[in-house]
Every structure is written in C-alpha cells, then in structure tokens.
Amino acid sequence: MTFHPLSLRLIDAPEFQRLRNLKQLGFCYWVFPAASHNRFEHSLGTGFLARKMAEELQRKQSLDITPEDLLCVEIAGLCHDLGHGPFSHSWQRFVRAYGRAKGLPRLQRWKHEQMSPLLLQHIIDRNDLMPEFRASNLGEDHVGFIKSLMDGTGNDHPFWEKKSFLWDIVANKRNGIDVDKCDYFLRDSHLLGLQNTFEYGRMIELARVLLVPGQGLRVCFPKKEASNLLDMFYQRAQFFRRAYMHRVTCVLESMFIRAMLKANDAYRIPVGSETSSSLAEACLSPEAFVQLDDSIFWAILHSNDPSLGDAARILERMQTRKLYRVIKEAIIPQQAVTQEAVAQQAVTQACPSPERVFMMFREALESHFRSLLPIFVRDEDYSVYHIMVDFGKLEEYPLRNVSFYSKDSPDTPLQLKDDSLFLVPKRFLERKVLLLSCTEDEKINRDLENAFSMSIGKFGLIEDLFKVVPQQPEH
C-alpha cells in the first residue's frame, strides 16, 4: 500500500493519528473480541482503494483525470472519517440524544460527515501544510474539491460538469456503491467472522464512466454484475442485523450514551487558554473535537471528580458486565409510522423527510409509554432504544439509482427494472424498538413491561413474528 508524499504528511498529523484510538465498530468489539480494528486502518484502505479505482477508470477510458485529481481522490478517501468521535457511531447518537433532550436542532441533526472537512482544514492550518499542497499543484480550490468529494455532494462545484463521476468513488450519495463500503465490508467481515460474498475487485475492475441523461458523467457497471451489487446491499443489512445492531451492542451503546449525557456538563474540554466545551458541543469546535477518542471512557471511569460519579457508575456496570436487561422488543411496521404521521397531519405539511416522519412517530410512542407509567418509575429506571436495518436507502429499492451497461453497447447507460432480479426481498427497511430495564426492582420491571405492551398495542407494533402451528383435523 503506497501513498503520495502529501498524503503521508496528512497521515502523520496528530489529528489523523487520533483515528488509531477510535474503534471502527464501537461497542461491537465488546461482543466480537476479534473486531478490534480502528478507524485508522479503514481510512488508509479507503484512500488506497479510492486512487486505485480512479486509476482503473482512467486506464480504460479517455477521461479527464489529472494527477491532481488522483491525489484529491486519494486524500478524500483518507480523510473521509476524520469526523468520527469516540466509539464511532455511538458518539453521533449521543450528540443527537443530547440535542433532542435540550431542543437544539443543530445537534439533533449532527453527523460525523459534517466534522470531517472541518478537521481536514484544521490539519492543514495547524500544521501549515498549504505550501506543501501548492508544491503538489493543489490550491485552495482543490482543498474545496477534496472536501466536496468527502461529503459526496458536489452538484454546484465548478468541477462537476466534466468530473461528476469522481463523486461516486469515496462517498456515493446517489446509490451508495463506493470504496468506503468495499474496504469496511472486507475488513469487518474478516474480523467479525461473518461471510462476505461481495466481490469488490470485480466492481472496481469492471466499472465504467458513462454520460447518464439528467445525471451527468457517472460510474456504471456491467449488467451481469447486478446480482453482485445486490449482494453488497444484502450483506450490509446482514452485518447490521448480526453485528452492528446486535442486541448486546445496542445495550452497551445505550448505557454509554446515558453515561455521556450525565457527564456532559461536568467533563470540560479546554478550547484555547480561557474557554472550554462540554462533551456534546465539542462537535461544534474542531479544536475541542480532536481531543476526543475512546479514552474518554476510562478518563470518566477513573475520575475522582464527584460530579462524574453517576456517569462513572454506569461505565463500571458496563465493564463488569452488569448490563441493562431487554424486557420487551417489538417490530415497527412502516404502516404504523405512516398512520401516526397521518394522525399528526405531518403528510399535509411541506413534504417532511422520512427521518422527520419517523422522529414524530418515535416521540409519540415514547410519550404515550411514559404517560402510562406509575409516578414512582423514574426516567433512570429504563431506556428505549431504536434499531434500524436497511439496504442503505431506507425503503427504496437499492439498485434503483444504479446505472449499468451491456457488453454489446458499452456506451449506452441502462436502468434496471425493480422486478428484474429474482430473490429480491419484499421490504428493504426494518425497524425495531427495545425496552431496556436499568433496575433490579421486579415491581418496576412489571410496570414497565405492562405499559410498553399497551403502547405496542396502541401503535400497531408487532411483538411476536411467530404463531403456533394450528392442529390439523383428524380424518
């Protein structure tokens, strides 16, 4: 694995080296002990594959890809995950939980992708790398290009008209097929011990750039690879179901989020010589954010600060495996979400996003559940955790926005019909809700279970997928 000298300067920056201390799969490592890999090696792999794919496209076609473009794509792959916080996606969920609790929309919608370009700029400024960028023929416009490639949305970028296909390589927002997934599929499956049938090498080798009407120049694939690509999306869902959203992983994450919420204001992160930031609000400051990694767990656990005592006790429960107990679980049919949205007249408003519609359902469900609890049941006695497993595009058919070509007409883009592949699932999205008990008090647990059962019934959730096989009449 080789990198451009400028990429090596970025890799050697302390802010990039911080990725060594961020577990790629967060609390999955606590369930699958071999999954000890970090964001650092994933970022190296993504940067390497990003350049490899761009070079492969250039080798096969007469495309307008300059050496500077190749370097920009490589750096975008390397830096795409700079914005992850402690225990990866768990930190994002903590920040959003804090935003919901405090009514802060900016934090409710926060994603690690927002921090990544800010940290790239922070690395360039703090390490005075702009002269080295210029020595590699990269100016400020190229830095903006790299940030846009990291984000995956560049419709308004000056390079878009002639080079829009480059946005499909690192963070493909159009259909989700990119080298980021190629790397983590291979890496995660190996270390989790899960089978991976997706052949990323064929995807890169057979990719081709075509002019797709209404979309510009896009990366396309031979139509014979449709099944392989569908396997990729199916594999993603299986990884979520069996590992990323494993029940124990979810319980651990729920406990971690609660601990961070309790520690948020007491644990201060210095910003400059006179100011400091809380944990959640560090996502608004690159200077504060770069100080965060997985060591926050042990810093709070072993702190002598009395104001961190409640958080430390939760972390100690995690470490000693005295975990919250799942006392109820239910599947959330999409019909239930839609009915609640209609009841709240959300669908008559200005086209709310699917995420916003589900958030309204979630708030209604949890509010109803709380209203049924006896007054002596505290918020600290339970936790409600939501799980989502999909093929990468919520309810949408995963190959809908993928363009193909045929061997006979390699320059003609093709679109796949939704029903043109066999063995396609009926649904591409699954949501679950878990009720976790944080107490050993059996009376409280019974009250929690009874109240949740009533909420399940009211909102049309499915508690049991199975039924007793009916007896056949005797002849």
Q: Which amino acid is at 161?
A: E
Catalytic residue among 80, 112, 122, 246: 112
Residue 33 · residue 249 · CB < 8 Å: no
Determine phi and psi for 377, rounding to 5 degrees. -85, 120
Task: Return the SS3 of 211.
Answer: strand
What is the distance between the terminal CA atoms of the chain, rounded to a whole angstrom?
71
- The secondary structure of 395-451 as a DSSP string is TS-TTTT-EEE-SS-TTS-EE--TTSSSS--S-SEEEEEEEEE----HHHHHHHHHH
- 382-390 and 269-271 beta bridge pairing: unpaired
Torsion sign, CA atoms 351, 352, 355, 360: negative
CB atoms under 10 Å from CB of 104, counted, come to 16
Does residue 112 have an active-site annotation? Answer: yes
d(CA 46, CA 57) in angstroms, rounded, equals 16
d(CA 225, CA 229) in angstroms, rounded, equals 6
DSSP-assigned letter for residue 333: -
CA distance to 177, 210, 223, per residue, from 406 (Å): 19, 12, 6
Can you list the pairs that 310-317 forms with residues at least 24 positions away whose Cβ atoms lie under 8 Å? Answer: 310/259, 310/262, 310/263, 311/259, 311/260, 311/262, 311/263, 311/266, 311/267, 312/259, 314/255, 314/256, 314/258, 314/259, 314/262, 315/255, 315/256, 315/259, 317/255
The alpha-carbon radius of gyration of the chain (Å, integer) is: 24
Q: Which residues are catalytic?
A: 112
